[in-house]
Amino acid sequence: MGDNISRLLADHGPAFWQALLLTWKLTALSFVPGVVLGAAVAALRLFPLPPLRGFLTFYVEVFRNIPSVALLIFIVFALPDLEFVIDYEPSVVLTLILVCSAFTADYLRSGINTIPSGQIEAALSLGMRPARIIYSVVLPQALRSVVQPMTSLLIALMLSTSLASQVPMPGRELTALVSKLANDSAAGMAAFAVAAAMYVATGLLIAWAGAALDKKVRILR
């Protein structure tokens, strides 16, 4: 098995490296906008406008509960019939952004609930407007208190980039590469081992970074 792997890396090393980079790229491209969008949704949900709250709750419930593959298939295969033709890689990124934003909004909501209302009252008495309060008092503390679930979300997102193997994208990420190697050659087991190692290593790295960040910014109440 050991020399299977070394032979595989000799033949396909660059392909694995490219695939890993693509995985990281898709993860980053979906996580950042996803979190920003989720934070916006969480903030807007605080406003006492029933239609807005209802719509945002609907948004969160839909994108939390829909399977990512179903969403991706809808975007890639059905949206063009509605005259929205989105290319494959942006479709994958869009799918992940929508799902990430829904989970982020949910985690932030519980994070927001940990903030003592005394702080809000104090801010109000200082004459701050609600929007300002949300922006400078509520969101920063909420974000600091949800680092742990957000780390899990980032890892889950990274693993979800395997979705990209289901659409005919020009580039191959790790899962697509394993599928191709398993189909075309006998090196399936070795390819799987290498890809799995890369995924696990990335996940552990993120978890370690997340734990360190959490310890630093966590608010002890």
Q: Tell me which residues touch another protein (CB under 8 A).
A: 46-52, 55, 61-62, 64-71, 73-74, 77-78, 80-83, 85, 112-113, 115-117, 120-121, 124, 130, 133-134, 138, 155, 159-163, 165-166, 168, 170, 174-175, 178-179, 182-183, 186, 188-189, 192, 195-196, 199-200, 203-204
Of 189, 185, 110, the residue nearest 153 (C-alpha): 110
Count of CA atoms in the C-beta half-sphere (13 A) of 93? 18
Smallest gap, in angstroms, from Cβ of residue 9 to another protein? 17
Smallest gap, in angstroms, from Cβ of residue 14 to another protein? 20
Strand locations in 37-124 (E): none
Smallest gap, in angstroms, from Cβ of residue 216 to another protein? 21
Our CB check for another protein shows the closer of 104 and 162 to be: 162
Exposed e or buried b per residue across 91-129, where buried means at least 16 C-beta atoms within 10 angstroms of its C-beta:
bbbbbbbbbbbbbbbbbbbebbeebeeeebeebeeeebe
Smallest gap, in angstroms, from Cβ of residue 104 to another protein? 15
Residue length of the chain = 221
